[in-house]
Amino acid sequence: MTDKKSIWDSAAKAGLALGGISVAYLALTSLLSLMSSSSKAAAITISIVSTLLWMAKFAGCLLLLRFFMLRWSAANPDADNSDTFRFGRRTALLSALVYSGCYLAYTTFINPGIYEEAFEILKSNPMMNNNASLQAMQNMLPMMPTYTFFGNLIYCWLFGVILSAIYSRNIPSKNPF
């Protein structure tokens, strides 16, 4: 069995590629949001393109994680299913760290007003007329990038762990033939 350093090295490369897909999606959708949608047709087109990009990102991440797990298993013939799961779990952690870090940078430096805009939309909602809850939300605004970082990190890592558990059941194959 290969040593832990080489497993982490392979997982880091795979995590960087997986995180890169999500970061590319973030960049493309933020660029799409900058386009003016003065007409209804342009707004619908942007919505369709965003949906197609999300579907491509989702499918790409699913397939790429499986590809990296298969490749790692083939490169390590003495690895069993639990070793492949550990590799997938490490890849998911590092991928989540890349994406969460980039999203933190996006909300902190590139688009720092994103949460204020969302709060203004929420304030205009007639259901939100309680001053105490509005004040509590206002107090949370400075910490939202941090909360989002940890929320994304946990969500993406858990998703990757579950996916790794599903994929690793058959990587390497248990079929004797």
pLDDT (average), residues 89-101: 97
Report the distance separating Cα 135 and Cα 140, nearest Å.
Answer: 9
Report the distance separating Cα 105 and Cα 111, nearest Å.
Answer: 9
pLDDT the model gives residue 4: 80
Instruction: With a cut of 80, say whether residue 117 has pLDDT above it.
Output: yes
Q: What is the pLDDT of residues 48-61, one digit of tens each?
A: 999 999 999 999 99
pLDDT (average), residues 31-45: 80
pLDDT the model gives residue 153: 97
Task: Name the band, by pLDDT with cuts 50, 70 and 90, for residue 177.
Answer: low
Instruction: With a cut of 90, say whether residue 6 has pLDDT above it.
Output: no
